[in-house]
């Protein structure tokens, strides 16, 4: 393939910096410049799934889903049982990852556009710490091929084209592999509740493409610097479109029924026929199980591909010197409480997988296989990486290194985590706090409150806010919310009370003015 043809795949500067060449339309790493490997700092494997519920892993106690490779990461490391996405939709979650900040401090308190530049960002910070950074898959920032400190990226943006002239690397690759085929031929949308078996050859699926590129990177990597490899899968976010062999692993009747709280009737109504991209509606148990079958199968497909990536690390002798983290940007309601998609305070939307496995050189062998209950959040990823790299963690970050919890340093950890989302599908913009035991939710449009006991009611079936036995607990959490929001001024707290807000408030004053 000549240089002109190759440049159509991605930018010329990107190709130079990553030394990527093409062979048979697959990307490999040119190792002709290889230098001796250094082991002073661990490699970092940064695995990310999209719209992946925290309860959808075997290691999280799910007896139906098949995730042997995710479970192996948990056995070799730890699982954080109370891991959250503070603003549970795609773009604000990615702002938290980039900045290590809370929603108010990075500026996105709802679904908007990731800022063009933040004063301190994860990729550049790790680059400055001596890492070679490479990103594969869904980035979901703007501009869409901006490197943001990565030495190279190969993107799959799920058909999303927000930058003028943008075509993802996956779609360029697909066009060359199968010029006669349509990558969207399966026929279900990016926010669809329906599930359908992938109608094209499995090798063309974006989940497979993402893993193939990651395996190529690992197999060919021989730079002297440690690497940070981001592998960001666009699934199990809809479309729920796994290949047939994964769909066949699950029986629809075995899928769990949706959880429906005693407070959820308001969300049951929907138009008939239902909009494929609806955000609420009781579509019946059978449809919820159909959706879950495709969703579970999509996760198992990802799990198999992660297994291939872990095998590649082991074959190169890199596994024992690699910090591995897996998490998602947010969850998926899947019909729970008659709700679909994300942006809600409920566990299915806000609770996410969070697995962390550390190199043998760090010790802490007695911690492997444990479940850690302290509340963690996406803002904690950046300081965790800096800790692993031996780099200073800036004082302005809201996040903390999760390696501190692995070390057993729990005394100064946060008591609870803050959650929120501005208006998106409806008028419900909310703020929430949870410590993993209780969850308090304040709906700012009309002042409603909810309180859940997550220990005795994991599925949030019973709203305790109106129960007299929980009056003092509700007051305690309300006062915590007042204190948490007080820095935002009288639009949020006035005279020591939470304020009703009728208007959408998408960006805080901290959102970078250059965006």
Q: What is the pLDDT of residues 295-350, one digit of tens each?
A: 999 999 999 999 999 999 999 999 999 999 999 999 999 999 999 999 999 999 99
C-alpha angle 162/166/167, rounded to 5°? 120
**In a domain? residue 200:** yes
Of 156-160, 166-170, 359-363, 448-452, minimum mean pLDDT range: 156-160
Given 56, 59, 90, 424, the catalytic residue: 90
**In a domain? residue 341:** yes
Given 52, 140, 429, 510, the catalytic residue: 140
Q: Are 57 and 71 in contact (CB under 8 A)?
A: yes
pLDDT for residue 35 is more than 90? no
**Cα 297 off chain centre by:** 18
Q: Is 90 a catalytic residue?
A: yes
pLDDT for residue 10 is more than 50? no
Instruction: Please give the C-alpha separations between residue 417 and each of 92, 225, 372, 456, 484, in angstroms, as whole numbers.
Output: 16, 35, 15, 19, 10
**In a domain? residue 483:** no
Q: What is the pLDDT of residue 143?
A: 85
Average pLDDT value over all residues in the chain: 92
Q: Which DSSP string corresponds to 211-240? A: HHHHHHHHHH---SS-EEEEEEEEEESS-B
**In a domain? residue 514:** no
CATH assignment at residue 202: 3.40.720.10
Instruction: Please give the C-alpha separations between residue 167 and each of 3, 143, 144, 159, 160, in angstroms, as whole numbers.
Output: 18, 12, 9, 8, 9
Q: How many domains does the chain have?
A: 1
pTM, full prediction: 0.92
**Cα 165 off chain centre by:** 27
Q: Are 166 and 144 in contact (CB under 8 A)?
A: yes
**In a domain? residue 214:** yes
Kindly indicate the confidence band of residue 5, based on its pLDDT and cuts at 50, 70 and 90. Answer: very low
Element (H, E) at 296: helix 285-315
Distance CA 66, CA 88 (A): 25
Q: What is the pLDDT of residue 442?
A: 98
What does residue 382 show for φ and ψ, rounded to 5 degrees? Answer: -60, -50
What does residue 187 show for φ and ψ, rounded to 5 degrees? Answer: 90, 20
Peptide bond preceding 347 in cis form (omega within 30 of 0): no
SS3 300: helix
**In a domain? residue 224:** yes
Across-strand partners of 431?
420, 442
**In a domain? residue 480:** no
Q: Is 424 a catalytic residue?
A: no
Q: Which domain holds residue 237?
A: 39-415
Q: What is the pLDDT of residue 172?
A: 96
Higher pLDDT pick, 175 / 4: 175
**In a domain? residue 422:** no
The pLDDT tens digits for 239-291 are: 999 999 999 999 999 999 999 999 999 999 999 999 999 999 999 999 999 99
With helix as H, strand as E and coil as C, how does 440-502 read? EEEECCCCEEEEEECCCCCCCCCCCCCCHHHHHHHHHHHHHHHHHHHHHCCCCEECCEECCCC
Q: What is the pLDDT of residue 6?
A: 29
Q: Which DSSP string corresponds to 105-174? A: HHSBSSS-PPPS--SS-HHHHHHHTT-EEEEEE----SSTT--TT-SEEEE--TT---STT---HHHHHH
Closest CA to 171 of 218, 138, 220: 138
Q: Are 440 and 429 in contact (CB under 8 A)?
A: no
pLDDT for residue 47 is more than 70? yes
């Amino acid at each position: 393939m000549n240089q002109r043809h190759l440049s159509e795949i991605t930018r010329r500067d990107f190709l130079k910096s990553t030394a990527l060449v093409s062979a048979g339309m697959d990307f490999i790493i040119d190792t002709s410049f290889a230098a001796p490997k250094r082991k002073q700092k661990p490699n970092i494997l940064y695995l990310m799934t999209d719209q992946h519920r925290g309860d959808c892993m075997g290691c999280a106690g799910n007896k139906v889903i098949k995730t042997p490779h995710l479970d192996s990461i948990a056995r070799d490391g730890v699982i954080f049982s109370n891991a959250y996405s503070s603003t549970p939709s795609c773009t604000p979650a990615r702002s938290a990852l980039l900045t290590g900040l809370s929603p108010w401090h990075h500026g996105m308190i709802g679904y908007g556009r990731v800022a063009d530049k933040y004063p301190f960002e994860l990729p550049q910070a790790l680059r400055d710490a001596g890492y070679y950074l490479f990103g594969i898959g869904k980035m979901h920032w703007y501009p869409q091929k901006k490197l943001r400190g990565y030495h190279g990226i190969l993107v799959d943006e799920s058909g999303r084209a927000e930058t003028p002239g943008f075509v993802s690397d996956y779609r360029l690759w697909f066009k060359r592999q199968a010029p006669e085929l349509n990558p969207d031929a399966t026929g279900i949308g990016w926010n669809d509740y329906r599930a359908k078996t992938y109608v094209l050859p499995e090798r063309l699926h974006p989940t497979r493409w993402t893993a193939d590129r990651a395996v190529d990177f690992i197999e060919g990597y021989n730079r002297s610097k440690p690497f940070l490899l981001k592998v960001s899968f666009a699934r199990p976010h809809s479309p729920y479109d796994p290949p047939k062999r994964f769909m066949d692993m699950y029986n629809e009747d075995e899928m769990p029924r949706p959880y429906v709280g005693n407070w959820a009737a308001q969300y049951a109504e929907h138009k008939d026929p239902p909009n494929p991209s609806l955000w609420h509606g009781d579509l019946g148990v059978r449809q919820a199980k159909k959706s879950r079958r495709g969703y579970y199968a999509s996760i198992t497909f990802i799990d198999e591909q992660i297994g291939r990536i872990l095998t590649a690390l082991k074959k190169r002798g890199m596994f024992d010197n690699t910090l591995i983290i897996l998490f998602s940007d947010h969850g998926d309601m899947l019909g729970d409480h008659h709700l679909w998609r994300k942006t809600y305070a409920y566990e299915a939307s806000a609770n996410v997988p969070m697995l962390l496995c550390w190199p043998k050189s760090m010790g802490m062998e007695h911690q492997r296989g444990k479940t850690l209950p302290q509340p963690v959040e996406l803002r904690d990823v950046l300081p965790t990486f800096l800790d692993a790299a031996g780099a200073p963690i800036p004082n302005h970050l809201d996040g903390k290194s999760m390696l501190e919890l692995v070390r057993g340093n729990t005394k100064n950890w946060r008591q609870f985590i803050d959650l929120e989302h501005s208006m998106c599908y409806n008028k419900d913009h909310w703020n929430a706090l949870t410590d993993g035991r209780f969850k308090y939710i304040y709906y700012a449009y009309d002042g409603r409150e909810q309180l859940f006991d997550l220990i005795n009611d994991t599925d949030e079936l019973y709203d305790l806010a109106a129960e007299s036995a929980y009056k003092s607990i509700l007051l305690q959490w309300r006062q915590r919310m007042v204190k948490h929001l007080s820095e935002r001024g009288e639009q949020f707290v006035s005279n020591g009370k939470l304020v009703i807000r009728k208007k959408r408030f998408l960006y805080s004053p901290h959102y970078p003015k250059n965006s």
